[in-house]
Amino acid sequence: MPQTVVVLDAGGHVVAAKREDGSGIIRFEVAVGKAYGALGMGWGSRTMMERSAQNPNFLTSIATASGGRVVPSPGGVLIRGSDGAVIGAVGISGDAGENDELSAVAGIEAAGLKADPGGAKQ
């Protein structure tokens, strides 16, 4: 499936984006929302999905506070530097969330950085 990949710096600003031919026109916003939510909460979007399933009011509160900018689906992965500090996040949209997350982790690790997708399975 064609994917869209977005990289945000630690302040939530887009520093890189790539959309494959045929990727849906809203995929950019979804990818940004996954990465933005990860940065905003300090955990990968998988954790946000898990917590929202347990407490839907949590997601409603986060969505309201962020102006609807968060997407609670796997594929928003924090990027950590060698010291463990968050230096940005990758958001990917275009496939199932689990596959988006695998792609984000692979890209981050290929760059020699640590990927933090969040979630209970970590």
Domains present along the chain, CATH in parentheses: 4-116 (3.30.450.150)
Question: Measured between alpha carbons, how far is 58 from 35 in angstroms, rounded to an integer?
Answer: 18
pLDDT at 119: 82
**Residue 87: which of 32, 12, 34 has the closest Cα?**
12
Task: Give the tens place of pLDDT for each residue, 23-42.
Answer: 999 999 999 999 999 999 99
Mean predicted confidence (pLDDT) in 109-121: 89
Question: Measured between alpha carbons, how far is 35 from 4 in angstroms, rounded to an integer?
Answer: 12
pLDDT at 22 exceeding the cut of 70: yes
pLDDT at 121: 55
pLDDT at 120 exceeding the cut of 80: no
pLDDT at 122 exceeding the cut of 60: no
- Cα separation of the two ends of the chain: 26
Mean predicted confidence (pLDDT) in 64-74: 92
Mean predicted confidence (pLDDT) in 42-60: 91
Average pLDDT, the chain: 94
Structure tokens at 26: 């809203």
